[in-house]
């Protein structure tokens, strides 16, 4: 037997299948989609079996060393999906397969993620009845005489007594796999749909092959619609995938789905340990779970017979993998999988991405709407505070209006959410005497001061150092903390409202396992009065007692040099506003800004997404940006800045010669020019149709594949222009 193996090396030059012999004793274990270990040069590597054949065009083939898996790791659908991803992203095939799998199943994994077992005991009906037992042994026999008994139930029984009975063949030991994630039994809860919700559900389940954009205001009950659609497909034996953008949303949505569907759900997200992800993946592959809930990578869940794929908060840029290859978008993968399974895709949002709304209005997607909140309540009132006029009345970073509103809510025993999309204590530390500013020695970025640890840290490469007492340049005691982060706002709140219970939710406080879930539950139980956080508090969270949302600085995301900054700002503000007044009590929103007339902020006052869409589309059309044009970012990076620039200029000349229908911009320095001592240049391509594009870019990648001084990354339709 001869097999074709794709080895774990991600270099373009070995992005192909290599033939190996299979020893006779291993042939029965070989299946397409499992892993094998193979000799490769002087190395021993793992790889995926992609072909089984009788002969090879090569002679003197090496033999595989061993078979790694007993079960198929990549099924036929995922194997084909990887090949499409390779073509669409210009990645290597091994990278496409690796991104689909939990760490324990990646070819490169050398860790020890073990399967967990519970031990059970039962009586051997054929044991020797002439054996005499002591009292302890008779007690054990009595316990196991009619049923399986777990070792945990035998907590008072000594191991020696058990082992003696096992050796005498009186007791039989049985191992059952124990999953690390435990879904406890729950009372099934099902809410009655509104007429609007029922209309959406009926449309989706009656027309199974379509991509739908569900545009529903915050609080309109999109999650209930998702569950009803899933319930329909569950009843006819089909499975479902639900994607959520933020790990902070996962605990609440898992809780709601668990109350509706019990242990039919499985979760895949970064909040799980490697072992938990491994268990969940195997539950899915074995058909023990019918509904998969998770973040971006859950789109690759090995479900069979998929009935529907749902992407909640579809506008979120977290659905795009931007920092490593393959640079895929979950929405694109969802549509590819929907074609394979002949099933609908539902994209839900209160602020759909411009690309999705444009496709819906053109009829490429089908537009569905939920224009009203479920409880019939009005959307929260939004008050925009011009901080240019309020600066003299500001206490810390709070306007009088926001402070008075917080005070009123606290008196009424209601809760408040405050948003500041910047963690840390201050944005940077500078000397007011000589102007010296602390910067990362590895990156083109200022260090952020974190007061709790008294350190200045780089949020890009992880570099950190203790804060200085005096300026290292002029030696004066004149260091200033400028800018503001969530730590500083937390400190200010506690000074202004000393009896107030404040919960800070950002990357620094949620990095430990289980903290998202713990924080959300404690705030829901009113153990805290104010939830302060970064954008993770803006989306999807549902707290009935929250009647005020305050935005400390609405301009933070506007200052990012990206053509999507206005869209991201409007979306963030509109989403966080929707956290207020979601139950019986009326809600208010106060937005502090230095740009109150800017349309991305001003239109939030009336929750006017359509007004924003029209205004932003004018800008996009004028400047040839998506959705009117496709965009490709070619990132040229290296340790030698001049060499990287020279090569970027050569690449641009090739592109100008070959791509006659494409707008070519750059090379220009990346907005984050130096990260971890790597210098980055961007070449931006804008195009509507360019038949030669993929072929030309493939040749460029091939040309530079052996050049160790430079790295070329290609990102089609990037979510961030950095």
> Which one is predicted more confidently, 154 or 230?
230
- Whole-number Å distance between alpha carbons of 80 and 336: 10
- Whole-number Å distance between alpha carbons of 263 and 585: 34
- Whole-number Å distance between alpha carbons of 589 and 575: 11
- Whole-number Å distance between alpha carbons of 351 and 654: 39
- Whole-number Å distance between alpha carbons of 151 and 174: 10
Two structure tokens written together for 638: 């290296």
For 2-105, which CATH class?
Answer: alpha beta
User: What SS3 class is residue 415?
Assistant: strand
Average pLDDT of the segment spanning 514-537: 91
Average pLDDT taken over every residue of the chain: 90
Longest distance between any two alpha carbons in the chain, whole Å: 96
Distance from CA of residue 277 to its chain's centroid? Answer: 14
Answer positive or negative: Cα dihedral of 270, 461, 105, 13: positive
Q: Does residue 277 carry a pLDDT above 70? A: yes
**516 band by pLDDT with thresholds 50, 70 and 90:** confident
How far is residue 613 from each of residues 339, 357, 600, 623, measured CA to CA in Å?
29, 8, 10, 15
Average pLDDT of the segment spanning 555-574: 90
- Torsion over CA of 589, 590, 596 and 601, rounded to 10 degrees? -30
Answer positive or negative: Cα dihedral of 494, 496, 498, 501: negative
DSSP assignments along 444-504, one per residue: SSBPEEETTTTEEE-TTT--EEEPPSS-TTT--S-EEEES--HHHHHHHHHHHSTT--EEE
Answer positive or negative: Cα dihedral of 593, 599, 604, 606: positive
- Whole-number Å distance between alpha carbons of 36 and 62: 13
Domain boundaries of the chain, sorted by first residue = 2-105, 117-177, 195-370, 381-423+485-619, 630-716
% of the chain at pLDDT higher than 70: 97
The CATH number fitting domain 381-423+485-619, selected from 3.60.21.10, 1.10.3720.10, 3.30.1180.10, 3.40.50.300: 3.40.50.300
Model pLDDT for residues 126-181, shown as the tens digit of each residue: 888 888 888 888 888 888 888 888 877 777 788 888 888 888 888 888 877 777 77
The whole-number pLDDT of residue 108 equals: 63
Model pLDDT for residues 595-619, shown as the tens digit of each residue: 999 999 999 999 999 999 999 999 9
Q: Does residue 540 carry a pLDDT above 90? A: no
Strand partners, 211: 345
| Residues ≥6 apart with Cβ < 8 Å to 43 | none
Look at residues 169, 287, 299 and name the one whose alpha carbon lies nearest to residue 243: 299
**Lowest mean pLDDT: which of 37-41, 232-236, 387-391?**
387-391
Two structure tokens written together for 694: 């993929």
The whole-number pLDDT of residue 640 equals: 96
Give 552's DSSP letter: S
Give yes or no for a contact between 237 and 391, defined as CB atoms under 8 angstroms apart.
Answer: no
The whole-number pLDDT of residue 266 equals: 93
> Which one is predicted more confidently, 255 or 308?
308
Q: What is the fold of 195-370?
A: Rossmann fold (3.40.50)
How far is residue 719 from each of residues 328, 345, 504, 568, 689, measured CA to CA in Å?
10, 21, 27, 10, 20
- The pairing of strands 415-419 and 546-551 is parallel
Cα three-residue angle 639-644-648, rounded to 5 degrees? 155
Look at residues 1, 3, 54, 53 and name the one whose alpha carbon lies nearest to residue 23: 1
Same fold, 2-105 and 381-423+485-619: no
Average pLDDT of the segment spanning 694-704: 95
Q: Does residue 110 carry a pLDDT above 60? A: no
**What is the b/e burial string over 426-445, where b = at least 16 CB atoms within 10 angstroms of the residue's CB?**
bbbbbbebeebebbbebbbb
How far is residue 533 from each of residues 144, 527, 590, measured CA to CA in Å?
54, 16, 15
- Whole-number Å distance between alpha carbons of 437 and 506: 25
Give residue for tokens 């089909």.
238
**249 band by pLDDT with thresholds 50, 70 and 90:** low
Going through 273-325 in order, the beta strands assigned E by DSSP cover 291-294, 306-312
The H or E element spanning position 66 is strand 66-67
Q: What is the fold of 630-716?
A: Alpha-Beta Plaits (3.30.70)
Neighbour tally for 472: CB within 10 Å = 10
Give yes or no for a contact between 642 and 648, defined as CB atoms under 8 angstroms apart.
Answer: no
Cα three-residue angle 373-376-382, rounded to 5 degrees? 65
The whole-number pLDDT of residue 109 equals: 58
Look at residues 552, 546, 548 and name the one whose alpha carbon lies nearest to residue 486: 552
């Amino acid at each position: 037997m001869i097999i074709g193996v794709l080895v774990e090396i991600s270099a373009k030059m070995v992005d192909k299948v290599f033939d190996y012999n299979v020893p006779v004793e291993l042939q029965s274990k070989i299946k397409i989609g499992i892993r094998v270990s193979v000799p490769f040069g002087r190395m021993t590597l793992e790889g995926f079996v992609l072909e089984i054949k009788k002969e090879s065009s090569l002679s003197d083939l090496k033999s595989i060393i061993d078979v790694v898996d007993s079960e198929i790791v990549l099924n036929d659908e995922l194997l084909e999906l990887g090949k499409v991803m390779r073509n669409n992203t210009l990645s290597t095939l091994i990278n496409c397969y690796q991104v689909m799998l939990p760490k324990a199943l990646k070819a490169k994994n050398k860790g020890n993620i073990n399967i967990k077992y519970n031990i059970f005991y039962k009586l051997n009906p054929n044991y020797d009845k002439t054996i005499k037992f002591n009292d302890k042994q008779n007690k054990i026999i009595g316990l196991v005489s009619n049923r399986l008994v777990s070792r945990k139930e035998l907590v008072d029984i000594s191991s020696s007594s058990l082992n003696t009975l096992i050796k005498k063949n009186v007791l039989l030991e049985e191992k059952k796999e124990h999953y690390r994630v435990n879904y406890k039994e729950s009372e099934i809860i099902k809410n009655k749909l509104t007429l609007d919700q029922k209309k959406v559900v009926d449309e989706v389940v009656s027309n199974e092959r379509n991509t739908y954009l569900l545009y529903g205001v915050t609080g309109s009950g999109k999650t209930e619609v998702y569950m009803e659609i899933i319930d329909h497909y569950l009843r006819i034996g089909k499975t479902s995938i639900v994607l959520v953008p933020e790990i902070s949303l996962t605990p609440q949505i898992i809780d709601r789905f668990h109350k509706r569907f019990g242990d039919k759900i499985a979760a895949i997200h970064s909040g799980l340990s490697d072992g938990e992800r491994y268990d969940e993946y195997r539950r899915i592959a074995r058909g023990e779970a019918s509904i998969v809930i998770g973040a971006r990578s859950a789109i690759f869940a090995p479900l069979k017979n998929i009935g529907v794929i749902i992407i909640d908060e579809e506008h979120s840029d977290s659905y795009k993998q931007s920092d490593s290859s393959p640079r895929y978008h979950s929405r694109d993968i969802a549509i590819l999988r929907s074609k394979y399974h002949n099933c609908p895709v539902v994209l839900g949002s209160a602020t759909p991405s411009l690309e999705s709304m444009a496709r819906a209005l053109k009829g490429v997607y089908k537009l569905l709407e939920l224009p009203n909140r479920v409880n019939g309540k009005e959307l929260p009132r939004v008050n925009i505070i011009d901080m240019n006029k309020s600066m003299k009345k500001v206490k810390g970073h709070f306007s009088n209006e926001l402070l008075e509103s917080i005070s009123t809510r606290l008196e009424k025993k209601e809760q408040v959410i405050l948003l500041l999309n910047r963690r840390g204590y201050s944005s940077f530390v500078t000397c007011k005497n000589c102007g010296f500013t602390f910067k990362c020695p590895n990156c083109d970025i200022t260090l952020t001061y974190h007061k709790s640890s008294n350190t200045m840290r780089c949020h890009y490469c992880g570099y950190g150092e203790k804060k200085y007492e005096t300026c290292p340049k002029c030696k004066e005691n004149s260091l200033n903390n400028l800018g503001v982060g969530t730590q500083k706002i937390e400190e200010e709140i506690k000074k202004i409202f000393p009896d107030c219970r404040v919960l800070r939710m950002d990357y620094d406080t949620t990095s430990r396992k289980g903290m998202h879930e713990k924080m959300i539950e404690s705030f829901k139980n009113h153990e805290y009065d104010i939830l302060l956080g970064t954008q993770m508090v803006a989306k999807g969270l549902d707290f009935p007692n929250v009647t005020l949302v305050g935005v400390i600085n609405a301009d933070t995301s506007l200052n990012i040099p990206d053509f999507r900054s206005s869209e991201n700002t409007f979306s963030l503000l509109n989403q966080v506003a929707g956290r207020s007044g979601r139950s019986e009590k009326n809600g208010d929103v106060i937005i502090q800004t230095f740009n109150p007339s800017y349309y991305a902020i001003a239109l939030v006052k009336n929750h006017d997404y359509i007004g924003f869409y029209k205004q932003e589309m004018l800008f996009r059309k004028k400047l040839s940006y998506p959705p009117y044009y496709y965009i490709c970012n070619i990132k040229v990076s290296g340790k030698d800045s001049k060499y990287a620039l020279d090569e970027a200029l050569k690449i641009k000349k090739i592109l100008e010669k070959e791509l006659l229908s494409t707008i070519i911009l750059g090379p220009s320095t990346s907005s984050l020019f130096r990260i971890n001592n790597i210098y980055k240049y961007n070449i931006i391509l804008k195009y509507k149709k360019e038949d030669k594009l993929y072929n030309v870019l493939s040749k460029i990648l091939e040309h530079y594949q052996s050049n160790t001084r430079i790295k070329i990354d290609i990102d089609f339709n990037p979510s961030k222009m950095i």
